[in-house]
Structure 1
């Protein structure tokens, strides 16, 4: 069972190859753009949708790119309409609560009507409590929070993300897995404006040290990636995060995807990956990371691993 306090399942390729935060940005944690995540007094809007689209379509783009930008946040792969009709139910499972009673959950595609709610829940479930984000004080910086929310919003448009719902008629969301099919020719970066931010740049420093080409290593044109898993704190001991990870096999086999790849940052998450037979592609120790990113001295986990699983 994974623990919300010690796991980060971050989309490495998403944040590095797609987010494309350029420049060195402010060199001090108290950068000029820093402000409370809940502040409404910002003097600017960091993301102007209309403006971004105006800029994008001034650039030479193919028909495929233009359609991907308009419909799926710049992700080229398109979910087939004749397979696993959206929103699809992937599987149900049962877990015992603190009283020993069985509770049933269901993992389903996230419907469009819940996209905004999911983005807000992901911020609460990950940015406030995850050790890496916590070490960088992501939650306290409104601009950094908005960058994450915008990324998740774009990814959700591909309609591959899933959530764990209580199967009691209330349809309460208790777990989220932001998933996307990644291709080398994705153009999400065209929807992300340059926005120097100390905290995001620190994350970029971390991910650049991993240096692994999933496309080349597995000889694939596309694979299922992740941009985060979030679990409601009340349900963190129900094994929901493990079931969300397990659901990827059904998703990949249904859509003919040969590989899924994810970053694991704790002993607990690596244990789950072992249980589900994920291969280790790359390992990076936190001791090495701290030499470059001193903010991570508060993290006691021994290593980060980039791991993948093939479906043949």
Structure 2
């Protein structure tokens, strides 16, 4: 994944963006320090498997998908927009929001040859790990890869369904490819605070908007509390009925998908709900 936005070298990094207290315990949210990249990747792997769509489609059943996700997460981390929450006095990760900035220039500034080379490097890296890590179970790995690819495309289809009707008139937007809170810290409003901190980050770097698709009623409630405005919602029953090709599993532990945005300026100035082609949003689904 090529991301053209660069954090200004003059900006403080890593920076503490937000502090808060829950039940007498103090927490802070800061940039992810480079020194704990491997620890953060392991945290995401361990705590993202119960996300409703991933669990229902069984996307994380094998190491192949984890390898694919790791490639994406590493690319995102390089942009220095990922937020991590710590409890005061501890280096234990409480939660992570894998934020990154999408720009309308992401594919304009990169030459076709550079795009091809980047994609080939990512593919080679993924298959190299697949080969050395799973050399004794090749057939099983191939079947798993085919199945995972189909389910991954269905998940992307759901994201396209949620975002296809909106035109966003900004050059840059903050999005995320995962928000996870450690099991022992859930129910304390950590996710809400991580989402609130997105606005502070956007204000610092003059990013006009932050958006996301939320796949569970819990995540959606957190987004609403954090100040995200509802733009679109679909129940999973509606999707099963009207979009059968997406093969949405019955056993999803949630009721609906929602698409929300947090305005940094007036929402009416930034978004019009007309069915236009949106390069900026559609990059979310690639």
TM-score by length of 2: 0.74
- Quick one: distance in 1 between partners of 2:106 and 2:234? 27
- Select 1:302's aligned residue among 220, 244, 255: 255
- Select 2:28's aligned residue among 74, 99, 106: 106
User: Please, what is the CA RMSD of the aligned residues?
Assistant: 2.1
2:162 match: 210
- Quick one: distance in 1 between partners of 2:10 and 2:57? 43
- Quick one: distance in 2 between partners of 1:309 and 1:192? 31
- Select 1:154's aligned residue among 75, 79, 86: 75
For each residue in 1:144-186, what CA deviation from the matched residue of structure 2 results, as whole angstroms up to 9, or x when unmatched? 1111111001100000101001111x32111000000101232
Whose relative contact order is higher, 1 or 2, with alpha carbons under 8 Å and at least 6 apart? 1
TM-score by length of 1: 0.68
Aligned-partner SS, 2:174? strand
Superposition deviation, residue 206 in structure 1: 1.9
- Quick one: distance in 2 between partners of 1:269 and 1:134? 15
- Select 2:91's aligned residue among 163, 168, 171: 171
More helix per residue: 2
- Checking the alignment, whether the CA contact within 8 Å between 2:193 and 2:226 is kept in structure 1 is no
What stretches of structure 1 of length at least 5 have no aligned partner?
Answer: 1-17, 19-73, 97-101
For each residue in 1:241-270, what CA deviation from the matched residue of structure 2 results, as whole angstroms up to 9, or x when unmatched? 111001011101111111000111222322
- Quick one: distance in 2 between partners of 1:293 and 1:206? 7
- Quick one: distance in 1 between partners of 2:197 and 2:40? 18
- Quick one: distance in 1 between partners of 2:250 and 2:233? 18
Superposition deviation, residue 288 in structure 1: 3.0
Task: Report how many residues are paired.
Answer: 230
